[in-house]
A and B are shown apart, each in its own frame.
Chain A
Amino acid sequence: MLEVKDLHVSVEGKEILKGLNLTINPGEVHAIMGPNGAGKSTLSAVIAGNEGYEVTSGTITFEGQDVLEMEIEERAQAGLLLGFQYPVEIPGVKNVYLLKAALNAQREARGEGEIPAPEFMKLVREKLAFMKMDNSFLQRAVNEGFSGGEKKRNEILQMLVLQPKLAMLDEIDSGLDIDAMKVVAEGVNSLRSAERAILMVTHYQRLLDYIEPDYVHVLVDGRIVKSGDKDLALELESRGYEWVTEESAA
């Protein structure tokens, strides 16, 4: 589904990713872990199309399409969706309006018509209830004045409505208390299906207690230095990152 080959990425002349390889198949849940500054968030940002990063070499393909040739919105329309670590505030724009515009833009790109309003409201109310969010969320401006937990829940709500093929979650657990984390994890778990893949970027193993990954990759200094299953995450939790770094240097 997603194929990242020998990816090199720089920010303001400084190389962050130095030859990263990653393959993700439908139905799989991958977790990228690693110390601060290793380039974890860079990977999902580059796949999503953030223009602050310069891809100097390598390829990214998604379902056979060259992702690096696609506009940001085309990537989203193709099913690549990013849950932000720091969701952006848009004053004056109602949540419900953003959701509807996004869903209709994606439907249009797929050659489907606009969703009828009653059908849309039914869908959104159902997902809101699932995320334990009040209906009043819809009338509030996008992320404006939201607490950290509300912002993250809102990101998952968007995923549930937009149903991406590959859901990328950038540090979705940061700033969450345990109750909020459970709600977010339930939302993410409900996205799991044989056709959909999930890519999580996280610093802590804690999240993986709630969302069990099929694969864990350790990202150190711009490369994936070790891959394994969920047990690798537990090992990292008890031993830290240093031994992996040393092992890869050896």
Chain B
Amino acid sequence: MQKSFGSIQPADGKLTMAHLFVAFGALFIGAAAGLLQTLARTGKFTLPAGLDYYQILTVHGVILGLVLTTFFIIGFLLASQSKTTGGYSPGERKWAWLGFGLMLTGVLITTTYILLQEASVLYTFYAPLMAHPGFYLGLTLVIIGSWLEAFVIFHRHRKWKKENPGKRTPLLSYMSVITMILWVVATIGVSAAVLIQFLPWSLGYKETIDVLVTRVLFWYFGHPLVYFWLLPAYMMWYAIIPKIIGGKIFSDSLARMSFILLLLFSFPVGFHHQLTEPGIDPFWKYLQVVLTFMVVVPSLMTAFSLFATFETRGRELGATGLFGWVKKMPWKDVRFFAPFVGMLMLIPGGIGGIINASNQMNQVVHNTIWVTGHFHLAVATTVMLTFFGITYWLVPSIRGRKLTKTMNKLGILQTIFWSVGMLIMTGAMHWQGLLGGPRRSTFSEYAGNADTASWGAYHIAQAIGGSILFVAMVLMLLIFVNLAFFAPKGKEEFPVATADDRGMGTPKVFENWKLWIGLTAALILFAYTIPFIDIIQNAPPGSPGYRLW
């Protein structure tokens, strides 16, 4: 070992930091685009430097939804795996770097084509809008790279198990494996769409594309993608926060079970994004709606476990009464405060999600800016605040530095700015959506009627929220740079909690990967086989590509 205070092997630390640098670079670009969008929507601001609204909207979606999240998550999982299973072998590390290199190359290619105005197709790239083949090629490289890194995470878990026969695998390692299984199974769908449909079509080898098939494949990927963002946040909540507050994990086996359930029920649910589409049978829409709501069960388990941990710890510290424990929580510790605010925001975020997925009720809000408000609560607030909560200890602990009191205070301020900005922006988005305001649209007077003219105030509120968020983003970058380069040298803890199982062992069946992957596949086949055959058999003639920007 080199002389260092680092919490994981220096070589593994470098690997994680490389991912985090890309992630925080993406945060800057994506959030800057977001600010410009909220300003442009007011109708009182013209975009600078010949930028087009839909071009920067594509940047915002791709850079934040795909780049920031994926790089941060893989970086965090690689570090967790290194911490709990004893570091990577040189071979594993090489594969991970190769994966990282491919991902970064892919991001650069895709971003280049967006900036060249060759791919203003938004991050969902719905056919038959046709981007430059380079856009799809870049995305493919990102996915292939991420698979290599997933393989490294699986391989390390497996090796640990072999080296420690009969022992329960570390919870963080187990959760990392589930998260990456979810990612790999999900990206198979979007890869199929890109490789079999979009690439040959955009290169001119195929004249037409089957629009509905591409959409079904996209949403087969699109919903588990959301859980892929959420699971690492759950890792922090389940397996790290208990240690930060000085308590224990409520139950190791229940934590594993909720991850398994999230994996199983993340896939057979994509139709709830396609409820108002003409080509899907209503019975299968409803069936997938029912399966969608199965996620309520692990969500309830998670809520119970987390608050049980908090309450148990509070009582250990002498709290009495029903809510006395609330006062005992370390509110001044940003590693707890930021993710806790994130948890609270998942309550309105979850309620909005229930409304969106409620079959016929979806029509009230489908593709309105309500939906944008919803996922800015769930992902951009809950998940991001938790990721920031991870950053506050992960970065200094890897770099052998300390999270100083000043940075801790700045982090609390950052959390407040971020959540206030989000509350203002998403609140206005939800209301405007209920009034019929569309998402993904720049300022317009439409037909000049009174209904659309009444939305002006909501646009102003969104711009105010967006401006506060921009300030919060700059604060976060300052903290990140400080923790990575300037904070005083020292030893910062990589918190890993232990379980309070009171003799309740963890059943071996949780490590039976064949069983869980098999069940996942069975549920996918159950929910998709018949409607997919139906969609292909009754398909209309395909569509040529359009470049309408």
Is A bound to B? no
List residues of B whose CB falls within 8 A of some A CB.
none
